[in-house]
Chains A and B, each alone.
Chain A
């Protein structure tokens, strides 16, 4: 990794304002090689602004941004050679055929002429569009265009991948294929940053998750920490006697900060965040109090809990 830096993406103290609106207020993020890092945050948190800065299209007002060791302001060309970028919405040249489209970008990225046809075929089979060879781009469906955009981002074998909502518009099979593709690229050593709202999916793809809110980093977790036994999630309880459950929960949880039960669920309640050990202890207390509990299960994922905890103050 000599000369490439330790991280595929290294951003420290990044700020960016649009007029009087501050989109990023000192954001930090690192994306290591060989891993998929998820970028999660509410609408308007600054995810797309950050990706535009990382993609060398937008200059940060302040802060350090390095792509594969290259400063995006001082040497954007080197950074561009190292990065593949897929925006959340993009157009394609409708008039071209699928292979012409990719061949154009292969040329624009400086791939040697004799290598281009082979590269185009390899990319098309990578995103499962090989049967579309020679067909016009405008005949593709939305999901197929999305996959073509993915192939475009990979045309020059970038070491760093920046993907903004790559799964939007994809059918379930394509999502699974995208997941497998990203995992295999990471296994080959690429540094991948994915922004998405589909949290359950990110849990399967990502090794790390960076939470952003209000233009700042709100959390940086290894996915294993979030999903392991030590993860604190919300739990859903069901009982034959919802009234008794609610009153008992209120008594048991009284005095424990941050553990309010939501009782408006039909026939049950939600508590948390609790670890598995905490949940087991709570269940024991409820059973001891003769509450007829019929179910105890994690409500949503750990990532979802972390996300909801972060965005709670917005409500």
Chain B
């Protein structure tokens, strides 16, 4: 495997790709939709005026980023979901395999092309992402970290889609599986967590009544691979603000920060709730709990979750690339069902 081979394959992939579809039109539509939605969100925030102290930039940043993440992940499977089996269907893969290009060259070159296209779609979302930064509501560091995380997640999904296209003979099936993978990561992890919580909860017998303690610290890892969780938790915290009310100084985190709220929520889940003995089980505990949670300042001892999720995605990507390369290796000893060698 050489850098030259990877570069050659990537250039070829981009060149053949750019000349097929109406890429310029598609990208223009993408640009208008994403930035249009961002602008509408901003207008809605200003109109409802829920955020305090003129901080529309913070919720806008969070909302737009979460939207951008989900939208780009929905676009990504289309980029690499048929890169290998599509080429096989067109009868061009075998002619590549008999050249000096190695399986690694082909796999990484095609991945680079797909990832590069994915990054281009991310680049087009920058105007509405950087607006809050320009306003000063969000620091440049936070924006940079968040964009980097999205870029890595796009790469991971590209790699997985490509592996599907190398594993499955038909491109329709592999694109479908790629979308299901993204769906599984975004929704499936949350569903599994919701199912997992009651299954792992603890029954406490008080003699006259029984109640269950949710032990979320046992299943928090189900949420870790969720791209939304990774993004929100990896985002650096906003600096706490000093607020003076009636002559007293309060320190508190900025309100309506979707990323920060999600992150705090997830870290609470990881920590789990301390088992407590309830005096009166009839009293809903949520009121006081919710209150304390919202008002809580960031604790330094809260353990973060994002590194596990990111590690999961990087491992997934690495495994996918290795699998793709293995499936491209020739001479073939076992011909998979439905695959034409040439």
Contacts and interface: CB of A to CB of B under 8 A. Distances in A.
Given A58-B332, A93-B16, A96-B16, A108 B342 contact: no
Given A57-B330, A108-B99, 12 more contacts: A57-B332, A58-B332, A58-B341, A59-B332, A72-B331, A76-B330, A91-B90, A95-B20, A100-B15, A108-B8, A108-B96, A108-B100
Contact of B100 (A55, A58, A80): A80
Contact of B19 (A90, A95, A109): A95
A180 interface: no
Interface stretch (A81-89, A211-219, A237-245, A257-265): A81-89
Interface of A: 18, 52-53, 55-59, 72-73, 76-77, 80-81, 83, 85, 87, 89-93, 95-96, 100, 104-105, 107-110, 152
Interface in B94-109: 94-101
Nearest to B5: A108
B91 interface: yes
- In this complex, the member of A18, A83, A85, A108 whose beta carbon has the largest number of chain B beta carbons within 10 angstroms is A108
Nearest to B19: A95
A91 B97 contact: no
A24 to B, nearest CB: 14
B100 A77 contact: yes
Given A52-B342, A96-B15, A152-B95, A110 B332 contact: no
A91 B87 CA distance: 9
Nearest to B88: A91
> Which 7 pairs of residues, A with B, have the shortest CB-CB distance?
A91-B91, A95-B19, A59-B331, A108-B99, A91-B90, A91-B92, A87-B342
B99 A90 contact: no
B100 A52 contact: no
Contacts of A104: 8, 12
A90 B12 contact: no
Interface of B: 5, 8, 12, 15-16, 19-20, 90-92, 94-101, 330-333, 335, 341-342
B105 to A, nearest CB: 9
A301 B109 CA distance: 51
- In this complex, the member of B5, B92, B330 whose beta carbon has the largest number of chain A beta carbons within 10 angstroms is B330
A58 B335 contact: yes
21 contacts: A56-B330, A57-B332, A57-B341, A58-B335, A58-B341, A73-B331, A76-B330, A76-B331, A80-B98, A80-B100, A85-B95, A87-B342, A90-B95, A90-B342, A93-B92, A95-B15, A96-B15, A104-B8, A107-B8, A108-B96, A108-B100
Nearest to A89: B91
Contacts of A77: 100
A48 to B, nearest CB: 8
Contacts of B98: 55-57, 80, 83, 85
Nearest to B89: A91
A113 to B, nearest CB: 10
A57 B99 contact: no
A107 B105 CA distance: 13
Contact of A53 (B8, B94, B331): B331
Contacts of A107: 8
A83 B12 CA distance: 23
Contacts of B5: 108
Contacts of B100: 77, 80-81, 108-110
A174 to B, nearest CB: 20
B92 A57 contact: no
Contacts of A105: 95, 99
A239 B252 CA distance: 114
A90 B94 contact: yes
Nearest to B12: A104
A74 to B, nearest CB: 11
A295 B323 CA distance: 68
Contacts of B90: 91
A56 B16 CA distance: 26
B19 to A, nearest CB: 4
Contacts of B16: 93, 95-96
Contacts of A80: 98-100
B153 to A, nearest CB: 29
Contacts of B335: 18, 58
B15 to A, nearest CB: 7
Contacts of B91: 87, 89-91
A92 B332 CA distance: 22
A156 to B, nearest CB: 8
Contacts of B99: 80, 105, 108-109
A73 B341 CA distance: 16
Nearest to A106: B99
Contacts of A100: 15
Contacts of A72: 331
Contact of A87 (B12, B95, B332): B95
Contacts of A52: 341-342
A125 B342 CA distance: 27
B133 to A, nearest CB: 38
- In this complex, the member of B5, B98, B333 whose beta carbon has the largest number of chain A beta carbons within 10 angstroms is B98
A24 B232 CA distance: 58
A75 to B, nearest CB: 11
Given A90-B91, A152-B95, A57 B331 contact: yes
